Chain A
Amino acid sequence: AQTVTQSQPEMSVQEAETVTLSCTYDTSENNYYLFWYKQPPSRQMILVIRQEAYKQQNATENRFSVNFQKAAKSFSLKISDSQLGDTAMYFCAFMKHEISNSGGSNYKLTFGKGTLLTVNP
């Protein structure tokens, strides 16, 4: 079974500064995906960034980037130039690809407990 650990229940950062959220995971799989999802007060889960385990290059999406260390099973999220709209709960998630009985693809997400990020003006 996979586990995902986020060791920082809460963090805060000043607007325009940089913050890093930590995530570690445990798996015996070799091929998998890692994600950071954001859940603002509206409670909709929004995909922030995705990393494929077979890719060594760290994923980047505008102000969001990851530091993926496969051997260490670490997947941290860096948010640059923090904005007030970045205030949200951030969940790290692991996914392995499974083939269902019907032949389709199942994507089963395992979430960490989340880090509540507050961006202060």
Chain B
Amino acid sequence: DTEVTQTPKHLVMGMTNKKSLKCEQHMGHRAMYWYKQKAKKPPELMFVYSYEKLSINESVPSRFSPECPNSSLLNLHLHALQPEDSALYLCASSPLGGQGKLFFGSGTQLSVL
């Protein structure tokens, strides 16, 4: 299995809702990432987990809360989002050992109304 699977593919939520994005990989990768991508822009790094511990937080607002419950699963919990948070959220994973290759999921397209 060489895929990173993200669910849901599309999500519409109101500003008072609580929702979660899910990312799963079974490639044995021990680093996992959340990126945010606005239309016609490059992806921007949000969080990095290494060995299930948060190792990088790129000053992301607290309304985004990541969680890595095990080595295969990465969640992004969303609460009280703003319309400007509407974007494509990409998950990625990478093997350790100096390869430097990231494997991306197909993303969750989020719309905040």
Q: Spell out A's residues near B (CB within 8 Å).
A: 33, 35, 42-47, 50, 52, 91, 95, 97, 100-109, 111-114
Task: Say whether B74 faces chain A, with CB atoms less than 8 Å apart.
Answer: no
Please state if A47 and B55 are interface contacts (CB–CB under 8 Å): no
Alpha-carbon distance A44/B92, docked complex (angstroms): 10
Contacts of B30 in A (CB 8 A): 104
Chain B residues, Cβ within 8 Å of A35: 100
Beta-carbon contact of A103 and B51 below 8 Å: yes
Total contacts A-B at CB 8 Å: 79
* CB of B27 closer than 8 Å to a CB of A: no
Which residues of the partner chain B approach A106 to less than 8 Å between Cβ atoms?
31, 48, 50, 55-56
* A113 with B41, Cβ < 8 A, contacts A43-B88, A104-B55 known: yes
Instruction: Note all chain B residues with C-beta closer than 8 A to A43.
Output: 37, 88, 106-107, 109
| B42–A111 CB distance below 8 A | yes
Find residues 67-113 in chain B having any chain A CB closer than 8 Å to their own CB.
88, 90, 92, 94, 96-98, 100-107, 109
Given contacts A104-B55, A106-B50, contact A44 B106 (CB under 8 A): yes
List residues of chain A with CB within 8 A of the CB of B101: 47, 50
Given contacts A44-B107, A102-B51, A106-B56, 19 further A-B pairs with CB under 8 A are A42-B106, A43-B106, A44-B104, A44-B106, A91-B43, A100-B53, A100-B55, A100-B56, A101-B53, A104-B50, A104-B51, A104-B96, A105-B31, A105-B94, A105-B98, A106-B48, A108-B45, A109-B45, A114-B40
Residue of chain A at shortest CB distance from B88: A43
Residues of A within 8 A of B53 (CB): 100-102, 104
Contact A107 B31 (CB under 8 A): yes
Q: How far is the CA of A100 from the CA of B48 in the complex (A)?
A: 10
Query: How far does the Cβ of B92 sit from chain A's closest Cβ, in whole Å?
Result: 8
Please give me the residue from chain A that is nearest to B95 by CB atom.
A105
Checking B40, B56, B88, B107 against A108 with a beta-carbon cut-off of 8 angstroms, the contacting residue is: B56
Residue numbers in A under 8 Å from B90 (CB-CB) = 45
> Which chain B positions have C-beta within 8 A of A104?
30-31, 50-51, 53, 55, 96
